[in-house]
Structure 1
């Protein structure tokens, strides 16, 4: 996951990256470690303890802003984004925060083939439905090497 985010962040020259759901800053660290010098990253987390931990991680990185609050509300104020990583928060609203040509990444997706046979997500998965029915996106699912996890990745085209 981290390397995938790093690949996308490395191409955000002069851009703005957003993250919904900082956690303790692992995903943000992957992106910040390779993003171009003229790029900024804004990451938002609801949990105050996680915000404090992430702020320590980025204490010396002026291009990274760690915010305590509601992801959608805070990121809407700073939109539009070139890259948006949805690791928590109101992901279904995230597409509207992207520039045309901007990319969105959802993690925490289980490939359909790895789901139990009786899982309701085989037939109805809200994340997949967002990605594959939203006319603003060209999207795909990327199954990770462990074959038990996947990402949904989309580019906003309109």
Structure 2
């Protein structure tokens, strides 16, 4: 089976070209992106959050799958990286960009319960996952990537991943599946 995505968001090529020009090598890969688009399509009118905008590849996939009434909030602490996303996606009225640390966003969020979260940074994945889960509605979908070794990983990253994967079966009100696919994913549901 060929698992190459059948479609690509219109903005993605420009985003990836700008990412390459600035040396940003941590964009989500196309298979993960395609899954993000599919999951976003399953949430009509949904409240969707991305922690770790990067340059906006994941956000492009999410927006591609979202309907006109869904809303995406995406959070990134590096203004230089996020500027690429804003340049390519900022005209879309369904998306709101927050340039801040994800910990600070988690501390201050007081909006509606979340239907889908994509975590591509440490807060919400390697720490404060419980805090994020309390912001999700029962049945809300949780997705993280980058759980298989990659060239961009710092030397001390594997123990973080191992601890994260070990803790998953014991998290209350949460069920998940680890996937040895794409960059290594966990998809879960708040119950």
Give TM-score scaled by structure 2 length.
0.70
Alignment of 1:99-138 (within 5 A): 99-110=137-148, 121=159, 125-138=162-175
> 1:94 — aligned with what?
132
Q: Higher strand fraction: Structure 1 or Structure 2?
A: 1
The Cα of 1:31 is off from its aligned counterpart by 0.6
Task: Give the secondary-structure state (helix, strand or coil) at the position aligned to 1:108.
Answer: coil
- Give per-residue Cα distances to partners, 1:11-61, cap 9 Å, x unaligned: 111111001100000001001012111100000000011121111111220
- The separation in 1 between residues aligned to 2:78 and 2:110, in whole angstroms, is 20
The Cα of 1:79 is off from its aligned counterpart by 4.6
Specify every segment of 5 or more residues in structure 2 that has no aligned partner in the other structure, as ranges. 1-31, 150-157
Give the paired residue count: 145
Alignment of 1:1-158 (within 5 A): 1-75=32-106, 76-91=109-124, 92=129, 93-110=131-148, 121=159, 125-144=162-181, 149-157=183-191
CA RMSD of aligned residues (A): 2.0
- The separation in 1 between residues aligned to 2:81 and 2:49, in whole angstroms, is 17
Structure 1 residue ranges (4+ consecutive) displaced by more than 6 angstroms after TM superposition: none
Task: Give the secondary-structure state (helix, strand or coil) at the position aligned to 1:33.
Answer: helix
Specify every segment of 5 or more residues in structure 1 that has no aligned partner in the other structure, as ranges. 112-119
